[in-house]
Amino acid sequence: MMTSTTLIRVRYGEVDQMGFLYYGNYALYYEVARADMIRNAGYPYNEMERDGTVMPVVKMNAKFLKPALYEELIRVETSLLALHKHPFITFIHKLYNEQNELLHIGEVTLTFYDPIAKKRVPMPERLRKILAPYFPS
């Protein structure tokens, strides 16, 4: 399994009146962590876009356990659980506060898409080669 860690401080503009991270902003944290993981693996998302593939979200599930609070430093642990044979990829995001309490679990499935041809495409070969060592067959 491939896992990476991203730190994000909850900013004032991201919280609601209670000082809790607004529920809609969790997806932004997923995206930051996912982009970090792919960049750190060696294939920045902007390069994938230049190569002709984008990754739109097709499914997202979220489980809210405790609120993330304004000014907390949140640790987002992102894991890629499996490589699908179809043009999909699924990430699990676990958010922890500074006391190491699990606050939130999000699961996001994306597909690979060619915006010019307007159709799903296989995972880019460059990305598959980077990820393959983490998932021996």
CATH number of domain containing 123:
3.10.129.10
58 SS3 class: strand
28, amino acid identity: L
Alpha helices in 1-137, H assignment, sequence order: 26-41, 45-50, 125-131
Based on the number of CB atoms within 10 Å of its own CB, is 115 exposed (0-12), middle (13-18) or buried (19 or more)? exposed
Separation between Cα atoms, residue 118 and residue 106, nearest integer Å: 28
Beta bridge partner(s), residue 104: 64, 95
Banded model confidence at residue 133, pLDDT cuts 50, 70, 90: confident
Tell me which residues are annotated as active site. 16
**Residue range(s) defining the domain that contains residue 80:** 2-134
What is the torsion angle, in degrees rounded to the nearest 10, for the CA atoms of residue 95, residue 28, residue 84 and residue 77?
-20
| pLDDT for position 16 | 97
Residue 127 has pLDDT above 90, yes or no: yes
Task: Please provide the average confidence, as pLDDT, over all residues in the chain.
Answer: 94
CB 31 within 8 A of CB 110: no
pLDDT at 87 over 90: no
pLDDT at 137: 62
> Residues 85-96: what's their mean pLDDT?
91
Q: Which pTM does this prediction carry?
A: 0.92
- Evaluate if residue 66 carries a pLDDT over 80: yes
Q: Using one digit for the tens of pLDDT, what is the confidence trace for 11-37?
A: 999 999 999 999 999 999 999 999 999
Among 48-52, 80-84, 109-113, the least confident range: 80-84
Residue 136 has pLDDT above 90, yes or no: no
Q: Which tokens is 70 given?
A: 């304004």
Q: What's the structural domain count of the chain? A: 1
**Residue 10 pLDDT exceeds 90:** yes
